[in-house]
């Protein structure tokens, strides 16, 4: 622990989900790091380094109970309500919005105090008009992410927005412009950037611990392949189906479209490509350290059933980055092998980095390597350090107070979402494509057709004018 000086009585802020200030001794510091190492499997040197950094930070007095921002949730489904639960540790829930009245009322019941429930709306624009709302938590389906984020930014509301950032590449440009022009704080919900395992894996790769990086393999759970579905279904009472569809094409109501299975329809999401793919492709890009790939090819290996979900169940893609780095992305199922040994535990959801001197495997529960020394040996003092966050929502609220960019700021969210969108476009066109990550356009053979997929037609009135 060279360079670390923590005497008994030293005051420090240790991030445990809520900013807090307490007295910590050197002995308790070491004990805390050792216990965390034992429970997480992370190396002690890495945890000591994280705790030492936390010890240098001073608790922000603006976290007092009298300085809690007003929160509003737009999209009261499972993911949105989960995000709100994390945000509610830092602020007061004052408003809710959902096109499904029953979902909204269910969430409202959890935040009703002294008989007073949060205000409820079906039109999110009403929430953006409220002076008591400071922060928007956007938990809507993918095809609504961009318009709500843009509207919130124009209303000067800070935003915690679920992944993927957008439905198309072009939407990302509009979101970035709105966030930056209005100087709001935006956090993309790719929370693996706030997971120590993933940060350590990326730092080790960036610092050449496995030699020259050659291949990044991203393994994702397969999507759903079901159908055909009954076309004529009755819209449930209290559900605004037209508003739920938003920019997407007008179609008859179908519960398989509107429930949590929305992500298996191209009209609203990207299937497995942008579901788990949004998380793991973000980590791959973080470790590679480049804005994006320069080439992509992809194919569906298990397609949809006629009259059922429209996204593929399984796919394979290869992305090429500068410096001859290849990223392979593919789905796996319980009965489909990796096509090679990935890790000794047989896990099928995670990221493997392979270099000239070894490999590193990481997912939400495991970090392992071809040799233990790859991660147990401390990095030198002058090593590349990635931004640190141990809690995604805490990081967001810290930045709301400081007005600094959070760890998954809007440009990071966009660039990582682009990886998934490139895969989808290559899959739909069925050919190898070249990509210019700085200009964000396709070049070379097939570029003319591919560039028509950068944006989609938006059904009126749910285009950009809807939040002007």
- We report the CATH number of the domain holding residue 429 as 3.30.360.10
What tens digit of pLDDT does each residue of 298-321 get? Answer: 999 999 999 999 999 999 999 999
Asked if 309 and 418 sit in the same domain, the reply is yes
| Gap between the Cα atoms of 270 and 224, Å rounded | 12
Query: Given pLDDT bands bounded at 50, 70 and 90, which one contains residue 10?
Result: very low
Q: In this predicted model, what pLDDT tens digit does every residue of 350-363 receive, in sequence order? A: 999 999 999 999 99
Asked whether the predicted pLDDT for residue 241 surpasses 70, the reply is yes
pLDDT of residue 67: 84
> Could you tell me the pLDDT band of residue 41, with boundaries at 50, 70 and 90?
confident
Tell me, yes or no, whether 188 and 200 share the same domain: no
Model confidence band, residue 32 (pLDDT cutoffs 50, 70, 90): low
Q: Which of 42, 59, 76 is the last residue of a domain?
A: 59
Looking at the fold, whether 206 and 280 belong to one and the same domain comes out as yes
pLDDT bracket for residue 40 (50, 70, 90): confident
Give the ranges where 168-303 is alpha helix by DSSP (H).
169-181, 196-206, 241-245, 255-258, 276-288
Domain that holds residue 51: 10-59
DSSP one-letter code for 113: B
Judge if 287 and 158 occupy the same domain: no
Global pTM value: 0.90
Give the angle subtended at the CA of 138 by the CAs of 132 and 139, to the nearest 5°: 130
Residue of 179, 101, 183 lying closest to 146 (CA atoms): 179
Residue 43, number of CB atoms within 10 A of its CB: 17
**Is residue 60 scored above 60 in pLDDT?**
no
398 found inside a domain: no
The average pLDDT across 2-16 equals 33
Alpha helices in 57-168 (DSSP H): 78-87, 101-110, 124-128, 142-154
DSSP string, 411-449: HHHHHHHHHHHHHHHHHHHTS-EEEETTTTEEESTTHHH
Write out pLDDT tens, residues 195-235: 999 999 999 999 999 999 999 999 999 999 999 998 889 99
Which residues neighbour 429 within 8 Å (Cβ) at sequence distance 6 or greater? Answer: 446, 449, 450, 453
Inside any domain, residue 320: yes
| Alpha carbons 81 and 175: distance in angstroms, whole number | 23
Query: Of 287, 326, 292, 263, nearest to 193 (Cα)?
Result: 287
Segment holding 226, helix H or strand E: none
The percent of residues in the chain predicted with pLDDT above 90, rounded, is: 81
Spatial separation of the C-alpha atoms in residues 276 and 90, rounded to whole Å: 27
Does residue 347 share a domain with residue 307?
yes
Q: What is the pLDDT, as a whole number, of residue 414? A: 98
Confidence class of residue 15 from pLDDT cuts 50, 70 and 90? very low
Q: What pLDDT, on the 0 to 100 scale, is given for residue 39?
A: 67
Mean pLDDT of 386-396: 97
Tokens of 413: 């969210």
Asked if residue 266 belongs to a domain, the reply is: yes
Among 192, 226, 249, give the residue marking a domain's end. 192
Contact 292, 319 (CB under 8 A): no
112 and 184 in one domain? yes
pLDDT for position 79: 96
Instruction: Please tell me the predicted confidence (pLDDT) of residue 53.
Output: 76
pLDDT beyond 60 at 2: no
Average pLDDT, the chain: 90
With a cut of 70, say whether residue 344 has pLDDT above it.
Answer: no
| pLDDT confidence tier of residue 24, bands split at 50, 70 and 90 | low
Q: What is the mean pLDDT of residues 280-291?
A: 98
**Model pLDDT, residue 50:** 85
Rounded to whole angstroms, how far apart are CA atoms 219 and 207?
Answer: 23
Can you list the pairs that 381-389 forms with residues at least 24 positions away whose Cβ atoms lie under 8 Å? 381/3, 383/203, 383/207, 384/203, 384/206, 384/207, 385/203, 386/199, 386/202, 386/203, 386/206, 386/286, 387/193, 388/50, 388/53, 388/199, 389/193, 389/194
Structure tokens, 448? 């003319």
The answer to the question of residue 395 being in a domain is no
CB 353 within 8 A of CB 283: no
Helix, coil or strand: residue 317: strand
121-148: pLDDT as tens digits: 999 999 999 999 999 999 999 999 999 9
pLDDT confidence of 51, banded at 50, 70, 90?
Answer: confident
Count the domains in the chain: 3
Verify that 160 and 228 share a domain, yes or no.
no
Domain boundary among 192, 217, 242: 192
Q: Classify the C-alpha dihedral 378-380-384-390 as positive or negative.
A: positive
Residues 6 or more apart whose Cβ sits within 8 Å of residue 113: none
Same domain, 202 and 172: no
Whether the per-residue pLDDT at 78 is higher than 70: the answer is yes
Total length of the chain: 468
Residue 100 sits in a domain of what CATH number? 3.40.50.720
**Mean pLDDT, range 228-253, rounded to an integer:** 95
Please write the tens of the pLDDT for every residue from 162-174.
999 999 999 999 9
Q: 279 and 130: one domain?
A: no
Whether residue 66 has pLDDT greater than 70: no
| Rounded distance between C-alpha atoms, residue 59 and residue 14, angstroms | 9
What integer pLDDT is reported at residue 48 of this predicted model? 87
Q: What is the rounded end-to-end Cα distance, in angstroms, of the chain?
A: 54
């Amino acid at each position: 622990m060279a360079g670390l000086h923590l005497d008994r009585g030293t005051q420090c802020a240790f991030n445990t989900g809520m900013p807090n200030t307490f007295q910590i001794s050197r002995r308790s510091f070491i004990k805390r790091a050792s216990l965390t190492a034992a429970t997480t499997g992370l190396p002690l040197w890495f945890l000591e380094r994280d705790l030492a950094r936390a010890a240098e930070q001073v608790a922000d007095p603006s976290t007092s109970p009298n300085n809690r921002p007003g929160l509003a949730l737009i999209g009261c489904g499972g993911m949105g309500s989960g995000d709100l639960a994390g945000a509610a540790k830092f602020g007061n829930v004052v408003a809710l919005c959902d096109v499904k009245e029953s979902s909204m009322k269910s969430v409202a019941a959890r935040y009703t105090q002294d008989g007073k429930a949060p205000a409820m709306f079906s039109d999110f624009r009403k929430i953006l008009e409220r002076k008591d709302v400071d922060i928007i938590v956007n938990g809507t389906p993918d095809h609504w992410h961009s318009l709500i984020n843009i509207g919130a930014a124009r209303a000067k509301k800070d935003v915690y927005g679920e992944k993927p950032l957008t439905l198309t590449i072009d939407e990302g440009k509009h979101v970035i412009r709105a966030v930056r022009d209005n100087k709001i704080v935006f956090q993309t919900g790719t929370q693996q950037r706030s997971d120590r395992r993933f940060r350590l894996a990326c730092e080790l790769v960036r610092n050449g611990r496995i030699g020259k990086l050659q291949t990044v393999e991203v393994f994702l759970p397969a999507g759903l392949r079901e159908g055909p579905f009954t076309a004529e279904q009755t819209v449930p009472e209290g559900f605004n189906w037209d508003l739920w569809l938003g920019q997407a094409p007008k179609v008859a109501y179908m519960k398989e479209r509107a429930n949590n299975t929305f992500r298996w329809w191209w009209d609203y999401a990207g299937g497995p490509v942008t579901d788990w793919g949004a998380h793991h492709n973000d980590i791959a890009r973080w470790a590679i350290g480049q804005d994006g790939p320069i080439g992509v090819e992809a194919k569906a290996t298990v397609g949809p059933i006629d009259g059922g979900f429209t996204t593929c169940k399984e796919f394979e893609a290869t992305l090429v980055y500068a410096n001859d780095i290849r990223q392979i992305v593919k789905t796996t199922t319980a009965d489909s092998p990796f096509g090679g040994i990935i890790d000794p535990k047989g896990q099928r959801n995670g990221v493997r980095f392979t270099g000239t001197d070894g490999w590193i495997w990481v997912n939400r529960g495991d970090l392992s390597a071809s040799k233990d020394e790859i991660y147990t040996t401390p990095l030198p003092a002058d090593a590349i350090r990635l931004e640190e966050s141990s809690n995604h929502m805490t990081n967001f609220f810290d930045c709301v107070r400081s007005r600094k960019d959070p760890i998954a700021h809007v440009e990071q969210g966009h660039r990582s979402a682009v990886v998934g969108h490139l895969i989808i476009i290559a899959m739909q066109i069925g050919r190898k494509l070249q990509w210019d990550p700085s200009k964000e356009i396709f070049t070379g053979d097939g570029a003319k057709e591919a560039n028509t997929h950068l944006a989609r037609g938006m059904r009126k009135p749910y285009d950009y004018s809807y939040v002007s």
